[in-house]
Amino acid sequence: GAPGAPGYGGFPGQAQDPLFGYFSAVAGQDGQIDAEELQRCLTQANFSGGYKPFNLETCRLMISMLDRDMSCTMGFNEFKELWSILHAWKQHFMSMDRDRSGTIDHTEMQQAVASMGYRLSPQAMTAIVKRCSTQGKITFDDYVACCVKIRALTDVFRRRDQSQQGVASFSYDDFIQSTMTI
- Nearest to 86, CA basis, from 124, 51, 130, 36: 51
30: contact with a copy of itself by CB under 8 A: no
Show contacts with a copy of itself in window 85-124 (CB under 8 A).
118-121, 123-124
For a copy of itself, the binding residue among 44, 46, 134, 159 (CB under 8 A) is 134
User: Max Cα separation, the chain?
Assistant: 63
Among residues 77 and 154, whose Cβ is nearest to a copy of itself?
154
**φ/ψ (deg, to 5) at 5:** -70, 160
Count of all residues that appear for the chain in the document = 182
Cβ-based burial of 87 (10 A; exposed 0-12, middle 13-18, buried ≥19): exposed
Among residues 14 and 145, whose Cβ is nearest to a copy of itself?
145
* Buried-exposed string 31-60: b where 16+ CB fall within 10 A, e elsewhere: ebbbbebbbbbbeebebbeebebbeeebbb
In whole angstroms, the minimum distance from the beta carbon of 23 to a copy of itself comes to 19
In whole angstroms, the minimum distance from the beta carbon of 79 to a copy of itself comes to 19
155: contact with a copy of itself by CB under 8 A: no
For a copy of itself, the binding residue among 56, 77, 84, 155 (CB under 8 A) is 56
Contacting positions for a copy of itself (CB under 8 A)? 34-36, 55-57, 60, 64, 70, 72, 118-121, 123-124, 127-128, 130-131, 133-135, 146, 149-150, 153-154, 157, 161, 166-173, 175-177, 179-182
